[in-house]
A and B are shown apart, each in its own frame.
Chain A
Amino acid sequence: AEGPKRLDVASTFSTQNFLGAGGVRLSEELEKATGGAVSLRVHEPGDLVPAFEVFNSVSSGAVQAGWDWIGYWAGTVPITNLYGALPFGPTPEAFMSWMWSGEGTELLQKAYDPYGVKVLPCFISPQETGGWYNKEINTPEDFDGLSMRISGLGAKVLNRLGASTQLVPGGEIYLALERGRVDATEFSVPQVDAAMGFDEVAEYYYFPGWHQSASWFSLIINQQVWDQYSDERKAQFETACRATLQWAMAEAPPEQVRTIRSLEEKGVKVKRFPDEVISALQDAWVEVRQEEMDNNPAFAEAYKSLMEHVALIDEWYELQALPDPKPVEGDS
């Protein structure tokens, strides 16, 4: 039997923003690749099930497929923290290399197998930002007592520096930040953050996003549904997926800088964490990482594999490094 011609996909993001739009793009690519034989119907978050329920609904077969940020499932599959938000992780390019030429996808699939979920990593968002702050961060001590909305491994790192990291639902972040119930929040890339209106209620926009150097999004499909497709169809899914990833990698970075410029025009102060702060964060991360690797063998395996792979790439680029291009005459 041939699988469904129209897959119902529960998205964890509104298709009105860049993250959810990735799902729509994937559908277009899939229609092209299959000559219109298969398409996706991307449902808005909450339309079928609430965002946080997507993984488990795909697993049970209540929903055929989902479009997700991989890190959402860390409560269930702890290894996904590595794919969704790995502090001080590799660049998107290096990460992609591990996903497709290394063990990345394989290890993720292995973690999803017990739940009957097929995963196709299809989209990467560029490095997120360091977050929106209403307090200046000049020294690592400034994190002490800071209340920030942030989850996952990044939160554990901040906890070590004395920050109170907490959970504020998406709809209340704006007000919580405006009123000072939290001093800071991280959310996503500038393009998405800007749509949330955080520029109206936060003074500083910090970089770099140390807590998340690249984050993966994927199409997840109920295994039984996936198995109904022929090998040819499966290959077409992969093709559409890679085309979507390429689109995301090409499209995103310049758009973020354009967004940052327009935010600056609105009066947002764009800042970088001082080196001393970044170094303290990294030290704290080393401790968190050790704890994570001790407690979670699957995480340790994936992390080591990723780092070995990244080391090869780094070595190649170091060998080949060239100085920055000299400015064209006439440029200021």
Chain B
Amino acid sequence: MPQPRLAPWRERGAAVCAALARPLVGLGLVVGRITSWLVLLVMLAVLTTVTLNALGINEIARWENDILLFGNALTINSMTELQWHLFGILTLLGGTYALHHDTHVRVDLIYQKLSPRGRAIIDILGHLLMLIPFCLLIAWLSKHFVTMSYISNEQSNYGGLTDRYLIKAMLPLGLVFLALGALGQILNNLAGLFDPARLIEPSDKKEPLHG
């Protein structure tokens, strides 16, 4: 006998929340998958630096007109600074990717004994009270930090990369991106509260881990 398992408003609520969550979570996952490859670029940048140093080469190339980020020369210090530029993007955007895979460390002594519903509530409250305020406030307050870098045309004092504002802007961008990811998680959890069948069991959650 088909069970009328849910009130229609709950079903509707769950569907709306899930629909809203999908693009937010999806975006975080897609971006995370793409930026993951940066680890290989970081490795290449470091190896290039090491090789250039071993060969005693300082400047690889010099050209006439300034180009974005690289200015008018590529030196060993451009490579060194490129390392942490790439690393910074990898880390800041990887935070959201890790959020969607539930990789961030939990002290789960109590958490693992809770019902899926209890866990969803903790995550909703945590994201609303802790993560999102942190991300948005720090992102907002770093406005000065980015604009000052842009206005002053801040660049390396080691003959490395120019346009320092680009990587500085990654900080607020990364934090806002994480807040959006957290919003996606909240909506997903809300969908689960409306419709408990949607609460994913940890074993199911593991499925896309290696995907």
The residues of A with any CB-CB pair to B shorter than 8 Å are 56, 59-60, 62, 74-77, 81, 114-115, 144-147, 151-152, 155-156, 159, 162-167, 181-182
Q: Tell me if B65 counts as interface (CB < 8 A to partner A).
A: no
Contact of A60 among B59, B77, B148 (CB under 8 A): B148
Show 17 A/B contacts (Cβ-Cβ < 8 Å), sorted by A.
A56-B149, A59-B148, A60-B148, A75-B154, A76-B148, A115-B148, A115-B152, A144-B56, A145-B56, A147-B53, A152-B157, A155-B159, A159-B58, A164-B56, A165-B58, A165-B77, A166-B76
Question: Are B154 and A166 in contact, CB atoms less than 8 angstroms apart?
Answer: no
Contact of A166 among B145, B151, B158 (CB under 8 A): B158
A38 to B156, CA, bound (A): 36
A285 to B140, CA, bound (A): 43
How does the 8 Å CB contact mask read for B155-185 relative to A, with 1 for contact and 0 for none? Answer: 1111110001000000000000000000000
Question: Are B158 and A167 in contact, CB atoms less than 8 angstroms apart?
Answer: yes
Complex contacts, B58 vs chain A, CB 8 Å: 159, 162-166
Complex contacts, B148 vs chain A, CB 8 Å: 56, 59-60, 76, 115
Q: Tell me if B144 counts as interface (CB < 8 A to partner A).
A: yes
- Interface class of chain A by DSSP: mixed
A163 to B56, CA, bound (A): 7
Question: Are B145 and A56 in contact, CB atoms less than 8 angstroms apart?
Answer: yes
How does the 8 Å CB contact mask read for B126-157 relative to A, with 1 for contact and 0 for none? Answer: 00000000000000010011001101101111
Complex contacts, A181 vs chain B, CB 8 Å: 53
Smallest Cβ distance from B13 to chain A, in angstroms?
42
Q: A60-B144, A114-B151, A156-B159 are in contact. Are A75 and B53 (CB under 8 A)?
A: no
Q: How many residues of B contact A (CB 8 A)?
A: 25
Contact of B53 among A81, A115, A151, A166 (CB under 8 A): A166
Q: A76-B149, A159-B59, A181-B53 are in contact. Are A165 and B158 (CB under 8 A)?
A: yes
Q: Tell me if B122 counts as interface (CB < 8 A to partner A).
A: no
Question: Are A164 and B52 in contact, CB atoms less than 8 angstroms apart?
Answer: yes
A181 to B50, CA, bound (A): 9
Contact of A151 among B149, B154, B158 (CB under 8 A): B158
Question: Are A75 and B164 in contact, CB atoms less than 8 angstroms apart?
Answer: yes
Question: Are A166 and B56 in contact, CB atoms less than 8 angstroms apart?
Answer: no
Q: A147-B56, A164-B53, A166-B53 are in contact. Are A75 and B159 (CB under 8 A)?
A: no
Q: A166-B53, A167-B81 are in contact. Are A159 and B159 (CB under 8 A)?
A: yes
A166 to B58, CA, bound (A): 8
Complex contacts, B158 vs chain A, CB 8 Å: 151, 155, 165-167
Complex contacts, B36 vs chain A, CB 8 Å: none
Complex contacts, B151 vs chain A, CB 8 Å: 114
Question: Are A75 and B56 in contact, CB atoms less than 8 angstroms apart?
Answer: no
A75 to B71, CA, bound (A): 13
Contact of B145 among A60, A81, A167 (CB under 8 A): A60
A74 to B80, CA, bound (A): 19
Q: Tell me if B57 counts as interface (CB < 8 A to partner A).
A: yes
A101 to B15, CA, bound (A): 75
Q: A76-B149, A152-B157, A167-B158 are in contact. Are A146 and B77 (CB under 8 A)?
A: no
Nearest first, the 7 A-B pairs at minimum CB distance are: A145-B56, A164-B58, A60-B144, A76-B152, A74-B157, A75-B157, A167-B158
Complex contacts, A152 vs chain B, CB 8 Å: 157
A167 to B154, CA, bound (A): 17
Complex contacts, A159 vs chain B, CB 8 Å: 58-59, 159
Complex contacts, B159 vs chain A, CB 8 Å: 155-156, 159, 165
Question: Are B144 and A59 in contact, CB atoms less than 8 angstroms apart?
Answer: yes
Smallest Cβ distance from B123 to chain A, in angstroms?
31
